[in-house]
Amino acid sequence: MPAPAYLHSFVDDAAIFPPASLPLDQAVAEHQAHRAGDYADLVGGFVVSDVKVADLATAVQQRGSASASAPLACNLVVTGGAGAIEPAVTWLTRSEGLELRALEFALRDEDDLAHNVRRLVQVVDSLEDALDDVIIHAEPPLLRGTPSHGWLSALDELADREIWLKFRTGGASDDLFPTSAALASSIGASLDRELPFKCTAGMHHAVRHRDDASGFEHHGFLNVLLATRASLDGGSLDEVAAVLDDTDGTAVAERLSTDPDLAARTRRWFTAFGSCSVLEAHEDLVDLGLLEVSG
């Protein structure tokens, strides 16, 4: 059954990243299976770091006739600084069987963050032809409290160039999980500048929950979608944070089901999230009654 519009291309497949850390050949095979499944509408790009591009190209070529006829649409994560962007983009765009769908890079946490942005933008501008129709995301440093002037100035620079945002929502340690207040501030700052955003890391399930193994509080991707709507509707920081804190899956699902068209329009702003398990996201949506399975 087709997915509702507000779920289309929602999950970027980051299976080669922790905690899944799948081997490339297995991750490619599973991604192609996702693309052929009845939940294909849910799946976005295949996320690969710049240091894995050559290996990914080899894995795709080795699959040969077993691979899909269309090239593998990739979200390229550049792990180095400004100087690493051009060679990574060149390598991927020249690799047979790969297609550059999105470019993602993090801003180094420097005193003059806006200057860092300008340096990166210069590189992006120099690659204008190669990046035509490519989505570009910049990840600012994780907020630890109230946004600083420098942090907001960096976002202003990104807005001037219409580079979208990417917010970290978790990782291997507790300090990589932003508080609900910090994430609400990030969402509000993005919307104030009319910048779409995606989320990365730690967002494995639809609804906020505590992981039994680690004890970490994980944000839910449906919570973020509803929180984005609340912010767009003029909700206060506390009100948006309260939406992020909601652990009632039934209530979250009911709110989305009430006006799916409004949820789809909200996706203009919260564009996607990276997850190492597409299937976990799919299973949650089925369990909540938001996706149907065929058969």
CA 262 to chain centre: 20
Give the chain's domain count.
1
* Model confidence pLDDT, tens digit, residues 3-29: 899 999 999 999 999 999 999 999 999
The span from the CA of 290 to the CA of 20, in Å, is 25
Q: What is the pLDDT of residue 212?
A: 86
Using one digit for the tens of pLDDT, what is the confidence trace for 89-98? 999 999 999 9
- Per-residue model confidence (pLDDT) at position 252: 97
Residue 292 lies in a domain: no
293 found inside a domain = no
Q: Is residue 12 part of a domain?
A: yes
**Euclidean distance between CA atoms 204 and 275, whole angstroms:** 6
Residue 114 belongs to domain with CATH number = 3.20.20.70
Task: Specify the long-range contacts of residues 209-213, CB closer than 8 Å, at least 24 apart.
Answer: 209/247
Return d(Cα 293, Cα 295) in angstroms, integer.
Answer: 7
Pick out the chain residues at pLDDT < 70. 1, 64-69, 295
Is 132 a domain residue? Answer: yes
Distance CA 263, CA 164 (A): 20
Rounded-to-integer distance, Cα 1 and Cα 291, Å: 8
3-state secondary structure of 131: coil
pLDDT of residue 64: 66
Distance CA 31, CA 143 (A): 32
Tokens of 67: 């691979």
Looking at residue 289, what is its pLDDT? Answer: 96
| 295 part of a folded domain | no
The C-alpha atoms of residue 145 and residue 167 are separated, in whole angstroms, by 14
> Is residue 294 a part of any domain in this protein?
no
Q: What is the pLDDT of residue 65?
A: 45
End-to-end alpha carbon distance in the chain: 10
Q: Which pLDDT score is estimated for 164?
A: 98
In a domain, 172, yes or no: yes
Q: Report pLDDT for 70.
A: 83
Domain residues for the domain of 90 are 5-287
